[in-house]
Each structure stands twice: as structure tokens, then as C-alpha cells.
Structure 1
């Protein structure tokens, strides 16, 4: 599957457990919503993904990607050390230019 460079980079950063690179795909004021919690700004997003990756050793495998203007949806198979692995999750993305302005994860 061919993904836009920014989405491919986000997946690669996650799979390489590089929280700094992962956070760079978000705007300075971006928000993330995951498992009932919200994170705002690159620093909080970096800390969130770093802690989640350390705890669950998550790896992403893109299954489907759809983009419509300023919104996109990435469906991924997520594997890791969490109960129910692997799991299918949807990443609902709102763009702010070429960076992510908001990400809402559903699974």
C-alpha cells in the first residue's frame, strides 16, 4: 500500500520506537485522544507515545488509508504486549498543512 510520506514516516517512527521523530509529524499545538485521555502539544505527545511504546512495545502495520481534504483515516493492525494483541485500530487524522493537527485513535 502506498502511503503519503508523512503517514509512512509516522508509522516508521513508531515501529522504530523513536518518539522524537514521531512527535515531529504533529503541529506544535496538536492534540491526541487515545483510551479516554488527551494530550496537547508535541512535548505531551512525545511523552505519551514514549510511555505507551515502552509499556506495550507496539508495532503498526497499515491496512487501509483514506484521505479526503483536511481529514484522513488510517487503519492499522497494532501488535504488542497488551491484552488482545493484535488489535485493529483507526487513526482519525485532521491535517494542519502537512502536519497532524489532531489524532483520535479508536480501537
Structure 2
């Protein structure tokens, strides 16, 4: 694992982060492989319909700001992007790791955890 600049992240991750920040569900879901999966808060969401529902719910549940504070390349297909969030969720402040697994220039998996 080694630290990289945000602009060194693969294009699909940058596209996803931009779409997620803009709450553009169509663009965010398009970044995933057809069998892509997201694990967040101990639940796994598989495929475009479940991922879209998760993104929609996550976007409306709390109000928060998010800033990328670190990016790491684990290997050619796995990246860890650390976000600092502040908002009206329980605890109010958290650093979350967005661990991306890529396949065919798309997101095959995303695990979000502290």
C-alpha cells in the first residue's frame, strides 16, 4: 500500500466520487459492473437496483460534508480513499475508508468502513 495523489486515482473512482457528491444516481450507478456490490454498515447491496436504492437512501438520511483526506493504491485493482465526514449523523464526525475493487475499468466492489 502506498499513498497517491487524488488525481492518480483511476478515472472510474474519480467519476464515482464526483457523481456521489453531486447526488447523481444514474452516473454513480453507471460506474459499477453489472454484478457490482457495496457493503456499508454491515449490509451488502448487489446489482444496480440495490445499489441505486442504497445511494438514494444514504443521500437523504443525513446532511453532511465530505472531504477526501487520503488515497492509497493497494495494488492495480484495489484502492482505499479516506473521507472525512461531518454532519448530523450519530457522532457528527467520522473518517471512513472507501475500499474500491475494480474489474474491467469499473467498480466491482466497494466496502465502506471506519
Instruction: Report the alpha carbon displacement of residue 14 of structure 1 after superposing the two structures with TM.
Output: 1.4
Q: Does 1:53 align with 2:44?
A: no
Structure 1 runs of 4+ with >4 Å offset: none
Specify the alignment match of 2:44 in structure 1.
38
- The alignment's TM-score, normalised by the length of structure 2, stands at 0.84
Specify the alignment match of 1:73 in structure 2.
80
Trace 1:1-107 onto structure 2 (pairs within 5 A). Answer: 1-2=6-7, 3-67=9-73, 68-107=75-114
Q: Give unmatched runs, 5+ long, in structure 2.
A: 1-5
Distance 1:61-1:101 versus aligned 2 partners, 3 A rule: same
Instruction: Report the alpha carbon displacement of residue 49 of structure 1 after superposing the two structures with TM.
Output: 0.8
CA–CA distance in 1 between the matches of 2:65 and 2:36?
Answer: 22
Question: How many residues are aligned here?
Answer: 107
Distance 1:71-1:43 versus aligned 2 partners, 3 A rule: same
Q: Please report the RMSD computed on the Cα atoms of aligned residues, expressed in angstroms.
A: 1.5
SS of 1:82's partner is: coil
Answer yes or no: is the 8 Å Cα contact 1:73–1:90 preserved in 2. Answer: yes
